[in-house]
Amino acid sequence: MIDRAALAACLALLFPLPARAEEPKAPTPETRRPLEPADQFRIKEVSEPQLSRDGKWVAYTVETVQPEEEKSWTQVFMTPAGAWDPIPMTVKEQSSSSPRFSPDGKYLAFLSARGEGKSQVWLLDRRGGEAQQSTEVPQGVQSFDWSPDGRRMVLVIKDPTPLEQKAEKEKKEGIKSTRPATQPPWVVDRLQAKRDYEGYLDRRRTHLYVYDLAAKKLVQVTSGDYDDEQPAWSPDSRLLAFASNRSAEPDGNYDSNLWVVAADNPDQGRTMIQVTTNPGPDRAPAWSPDGQFLAYETQIDVKLFYYATTYLAVAPAAGGKARLLTEGIDRHVSRPRYSADGKSLYFLLEDSAELHLASIPAAGGEVTRPIRGSRAVETFALADDGTVAALISEPSLPPEVFVLQGGEQRRLTAVNDEFLKQVRLAEAEEAHFKSKDGTEIEGIIYKPVGFEPGMRYPAILWIHGGPVSQFAHRFQFFPQLFAANGYLVVTVNPRGSSGYGQAFSAAIFAAWGEKDYEDVLAGVDHAIAQGYADPERLGVGGWSYGGMLTNYTITQTTRFKGAVSGASLGLAAGNYGHDHYQRDWELELGLPWRNRELWDRLSAFWKVEKITTPTLWMCGEKDWNVPAVNSEQMYQAMKRLGRDTEMVIYPGEHHGISKPSYQQDRLARFLAWFDRWVKGVKPATAARSSGDTTVNSAS
């Protein structure tokens, strides 16, 4: 259908082709160097693989970071599914994302915010020509998807802000404002008052709209004081399924359900079908090819919220009794998709430290794993002919696109191969050991680059966030960087982690820093018993819950010579109403004025006098996930007690540090702190960025 030569010739005039990847030559240790902090920007992030319906073409995105200019951009590429021959479909330095093939394969749609505009849907005719902007939504489009007949799209759009409404009104009236718009005061009357990255919350909500491509007409199909998300078209393009919490107080629970609304609904969703009634979260709907059923993700234990296992379920699209298909395996599932014949369901399955592509008969039965092993399948796409495009990462391989066809699996992209040929990566060793109470725990140990058996190395216990998360068999830059700088790195999946069943996760419910503390210490003891780690040179650190568990660790032991606590918890009650977790706090700990003893027991601040480990406190200035007040209070208390400590706050940053110079600064400070206190390197080598401001730093 597509003249590849003509397409390539046309696009080559617009976009320079990258060099074709060659098979990497067998490198020798002498020709490769260790990782350094700046390498995080040299690794390009591959994501969002999408398949054309016939399974012949794969689209994906590649993010490039330019740290010198403090910017990054994401580019859409396309390649035949048979061999990697990448064609850039969008221009550099104008980020584009969410590539989606039209059902007939003639167009590739994507999201992009070009110039000073908002994110809009753009269309690229694959037979030639430049991309054309299709939508003109003043506040921008969050996500979209084609209808199966290719005539319409469903758009997810958030209500406009007062400033956006004012600007659109002036634009229509031809008024040119002579003064900058003033942000009006935030008026909050919701139970959920704020959210990291979003700020204070008003009553603006996210709803579904149907966009007619030929008429360029936009019709709102859901409304109300609720957020609607994850829309999915019925096979006949008549209906939309979506997830929404439409309970009396959505901010006070996780009761999202599946709903079905007509795509040409004239009353903005006042007439629709409620498909599920489970009081826990139901989400990610996927239609069966005959339009009779919806497959989806569900959690059935309301009390445990995110500690609860996510199962695969199926329910009649018209409403009725649901069936759990994966209850017997007690492992998290996600992203269900029906096969084209409707006989099977594909989904992602998290099992121990591995993430697999799994399949199960649509009527229920045995789970098979078409892609498995010590790797992480991050996401996947499925074509009508059964072809699968999967984004896969391994301990020594950043995410790349793989293709599964006819039972044969092969790697398709090689975006980072040239970089990988330049560096030496650490060996990642899977480890199993017993915790204090006999529970089996799994971890991954990264051996220092150049590891020699019989030598004991300075070791860093690096703790993951979450807590319901895990260290998987995927590429992890932080442990690799530490290992490149001479450290043995111990990463552990303690209780609270995902991948090991609901009871394992729920073992730390309202009991943080207890069993999980014992588990991570068991990982360190295992590394010592193996002869890898020097017990006199130990460091500990992490970000988010990794920082929280670091705090629980250094208030209970003096074994560690240095600690890094990023975006962590100090005084728990001080976060209530200040962070964005009011719902979670109440579900797990109860109200602070009614359950003060528990809130205080989980507050590392009340045990700060027990901390003798030199500790570096770090956070983003605008973090409303785990606010900087926690780091400030812990730092201030340690400073007042005369302990070795320092605090670094990144201006304008949220929970995840995004500015390239700050990312590099953070890594340099991690290394400098551990070098100083764990290795004993003199502080003259401590990292300082050229523009930092040091206030009363510890020496």
pLDDT at residue 270, as a whole number: 83
Q: How far is 495 from 493, CA to CA, in rounded Å? A: 7
Q: Quick check: 691 pLDDT over 50?
A: no
**Quick check: 645 and 614 in contact, CB under 8 A?**
yes
pLDDT at residue 12, as a whole number: 39
* Cα distances (Å, whole numbers) of residue 681 to 228, 564, 671, 677, 684: 54, 16, 11, 7, 8
3-state secondary structure 376-409: EEEEEEECCCCCEEEEEEECCEEEEEEEEECCEE
| Burial of 42 (C-beta count, 10 Å sphere; 0-12/13-18/19+) | middle
For residue 421, give the amino acid letter.
Answer: K
Helix (H) or strand (E) holding 233: strand 228-233
Spell out the residues 6+ positions from residue 442 whose beta carbon is closer than 8 angstroms to its own.
352, 353, 430, 431, 432, 492, 493, 500
Q: How far is 251 from 274, CA to CA, in rounded Å? A: 20
Q: Quick one: pLDDT band at residue 432, thresholds 50, 70, 90?
A: very high
Query: In terms of Cα–Cα distance, which of 369, 343, 384 is closest to 57?
Result: 384
DSSP-assigned states of every residue in 260-274 = EEETT-TTTTSS-EE
* Cα distances (Å, whole numbers) of residue 585 to 189, 207, 214, 503: 19, 28, 48, 20
Average pLDDT over residues 497-502: 96
Strand 457-463 and strand 533-543: the pairing is parallel
Q: How far is 276 from 221, CA to CA, in rounded Å? A: 20
Number of H helices, E strands in the chain: 12, 40
- Sequence ranges of the domains in the chain: 424-685
Q: How far is 501 from 307, CA to CA, in rounded Å? A: 9
Average pLDDT over residues 402-415: 94
Spell out the residues 6+ positions from residue 430 whose beta carbon is closer than 8 angstroms to its own.
353, 374, 442, 443, 444, 473
Q: Quick check: 515 pLDDT over 60?
A: yes
Instruction: Look at residue 328 and give its three-state secondary structure.
Output: helix
For residue range 46-104, list pLDDT tens digits in order.
Answer: 999 999 999 999 999 999 999 999 999 999 999 999 999 999 999 888 899 999 999 99
For residue range 161-220, list pLDDT tens digits in order.
Answer: 888 787 777 777 777 776 677 888 999 999 999 999 999 999 999 999 999 999 999 999
pLDDT at residue 40, as a whole number: 95
Query: In terms of Cα–Cα distance, which of 34, 36, 33, 32 is closest to 671?
Result: 36
Angle at 228 (CA atoms; ends 224, 230), nearest 5 degrees:
165
For residue range 377-393, list pLDDT tens digits in order.
Answer: 999 999 999 999 999 99
Q: Quick check: 1 pLDDT over 60?
A: no
pLDDT at residue 590, as a whole number: 97
Q: How far is 260 from 166, CA to CA, in rounded Å? A: 33
**Quick check: 493 and 464 in contact, CB under 8 A?**
yes
Spell out the residues 6+ positions from residue 115 whose beta carbon is closer than 8 angstroms to its own.
none
Query: In terms of Cα–Cα distance, which of 162, 167, 204, 166 is closest to 185?
Result: 162
**Quick check: 295 and 312 in contact, CB under 8 A?**
yes
Q: Quick one: pLDDT band at residue 25, thresholds 50, 70, 90?
A: low
DSSP-assigned states of every residue in 58-92 = EEEEEEEEEGGGTEEEEEEEEEETTS---EE-S-T
For residue range 641-667, list pLDDT tens digits in order.
Answer: 999 999 999 999 999 999 999 999 999
How much is the CA Rg of the chain, to the nearest whole Å?
26
What's the whole-model pTM score?
Answer: 0.91
pLDDT at residue 615, as a whole number: 98
Q: How far is 48 from 472, CA to CA, in rounded Å? A: 19
**Quick check: 446 and 119 in contact, CB under 8 A?**
no
Q: Quick check: 26 pLDDT over 60?
A: no
Average pLDDT over residues 292-303: 97
For residue range 312-349, list pLDDT tens digits in order.
Answer: 999 999 999 999 999 999 999 999 999 999 999 999 99
First to last CA, the chain: 69
**Quick check: 133 and 119 in contact, CB under 8 A?**
no
Q: How far is 436 from 340, CA to CA, in rounded Å? A: 49
Query: In terms of Cα–Cα distance, which of 392, 485, 400, 496 is closest to 446?
Result: 485
pLDDT at residue 19, as a whole number: 41
**Quick check: 196 and 624 in contact, CB under 8 A?**
yes
Task: Provide CATH code, domain 424-685.
Answer: 3.40.50.1820
Average pLDDT over residues 253-276: 92
Instruction: Look at residue 370 and give its three-state secondary structure.
Output: strand
pLDDT at residue 684, as a whole number: 61
Q: If phi over 0 gives left and psi between -120 and 50 gives alpha, with beta otherwise, what is residue 387? A: beta
In the chain, pLDDT over 70 holds for what percent of residues? 93
Residue 657, CA atoms < 13 Å, CB-side half-sphere: 21
Q: Quick check: 8 pLDDT over 70?
A: no
DSSP-assigned states of every residue in 24-62 = PP---GGG-EE--TTHHHHS-EEEEEEE-TTSSEEEEEE
pLDDT at residue 27, as a whole number: 53
Spell out the residues 6+ positions from residue 510 whose beta carbon is closer than 8 angstroms to its own.
588, 589, 598, 602
Q: How far is 574 from 179, CA to CA, in rounded Å? A: 40
Q: How far is 24 from 421, CA to CA, in rounded Å? A: 7
What the block records as the tokens of 162 is 């007062």
CA 435 to the chain's CA centroid: 29
Q: Quick check: 444 pLDDT over 50?
A: yes
Q: How far is 379 from 47, CA to CA, in rounded Å? A: 8
Q: Quote helix, strand, coil % in the chain, to nearest 5.
A: 20, 30, 45
pLDDT at residue 570, as a whole number: 96
Spell out the residues 6+ positions from residue 176 whose beta carbon is closer than 8 angstroms to its own.
170
Mean per-residue pLDDT over the chain, rounded: 92
| Burial of 697 (C-beta count, 10 Å sphere; 0-12/13-18/19+) | middle
Q: Quick one: pLDDT band at residue 29, thresholds 50, 70, 90?
A: low
